[in-house]
Amino acid sequence: MHKLKWKTFKLLTLLLYGGVFALSGCAASSAVDEMKEKTKETNTSETGDTVKVGILHSLSGTMAISEVSLRDAELMAIEEINESGGLLGKKIEPVVEDGASDWPTFAEKAKKLLQKDKVVAIFGGWTSASRKAMLPVVEQNNGLLWYPVQYEGMESSPNIFYTGATTNQQIVPAVSWLLENRGKKFFLLGSDYVFPRTANKIIKAQLRAEGGQLVGEEYTPLGHTDYSTIISKIKEMKPDVVFNTLNGDSNVAFFKQLKDAGITAKDVTVMSVSIAEEEIRGIGGDVLAGHLAVWNYFQSTDTPENKVFVEKYKKKYGKDRVTDDPIEAAYFAVHLWAEAVKKAGSFDVDKVKKAADGIEYKAPGGTVKIDGETQHTWKIVRIGEIQPNGQFKELWNSGKAIKPDPYLKSYPWAKDLN
Partner 1 sequence: MTKKGWLYWLFFLALFAAPFYLTEFRLSLLGKFLCFAMIAIGISLIWGYTGILSLGHGVYFGLGAYCMAMYLKLESSHGRLPDFMEWSGVHQLPWFWKPFEHPLVAISSAIIIPVLLAAFLSYFTFKNRIKGVYFSLLSQAVVVVFVTLFIGKQEWTGGTNGLTNFSTVFGFPLSSPFTQIILYWITVCLLLLIFLFSRWLTVSRFGRVLVAIRDGENRVRFLGFNPTTYKVFVYSLSAAFAALAGIMFVLQVGLISPAMMGIIPSIEMVLWVAVGGRSSLIGAVIGAIVTNSAKSFFSENYPDIWLLFLGGLFIGVVMFLPNGLAGVYQSFKQRKGQREGKTHEAGSHVSRSVGGF
Contact residues for partner 1 (CB under 8 A)? Answer: 2-3, 5-6, 9-10, 12-13, 16-17, 20-21, 24, 27-29, 31-32, 35-36, 38-39, 59-60, 96-98, 100, 102-105, 107-109, 111-112, 115-116, 127-129, 132-133, 135-137, 139-141, 152, 154, 192-194, 197-198, 201, 219, 221-222, 416-418
- Cβ of residue 81: shortest distance to partner 1, in angstroms? 21
For residues 301 and 312, what is the distance between their CA atoms, to the nearest angstrom?
15
3-state secondary structure of 322: coil
- Packed helices 128-140 and 194-210: angle between N→C axes, nearest 10 degrees: 110
Our CB check for partner 1 shows the closer of 4 and 304 to be 4
CB of 128 to partner 1, least distance (A): 6
Q: What angle do CA 201, 183, 215 make, to 5 degrees?
A: 45
CB of 381 to partner 1, least distance (A): 22
Nearer to partner 1, 13 or 264 (CB): 13
User: Least distance from C-beta 107 to partner 1, angstroms?
Assistant: 6
Q: 141 or 387: whose CB is closer to partner 1?
A: 141
Side-chain-side CA neighbours of residue 328 (13 Å): 34
Kindly tell me which of 250 and 301 has the beta carbon lying closer to partner 1. 250
Query: In the 8-state DSSP scheme, what is residue 372?
Result: T
Helix (H, G, I), strand (E, B) or coil at 198: helix
CB of 334 to partner 1, least distance (A): 18
| Separation in Å, CA 341 to CA 78, 236, 378 | 13, 56, 19
Instruction: Give the residue among 379, 382, 386 at the shortest CA–CA distance from 403.
Output: 379
Nearer to partner 1, 93 or 108 (CB): 108
The DSSP letter of residue 417 is G
Nearer to partner 1, 21 or 84 (CB): 21
The DSSP element (H or E) to which 140 belongs, if any, is helix 128-140
The smaller minimum CB distance to partner 1, of residues 199 and 355, is found at: 199
CB of 59 to partner 1, least distance (A): 6
Report which secondary-structure segment, H or E, holds 122.
Answer: strand 122-124
Q: Strand 145-147 relative to strand 382-386: parallel, antiparallel, unpaired?
A: unpaired
What is the three-class DSSP state of 66? helix
- Minimum Å distance from CB 118 to partner 1? 11
Question: Minimum distance from CB of 401 to partner 1 (Å)?
Answer: 25
In the complex with partner 1, the residue whose CB is nearer, 198 or 269, is: 198
Helix H or strand E encompassing 135: helix 128-140
How many Å apart are CA 95 and CA 85, to the nearest integer? 19
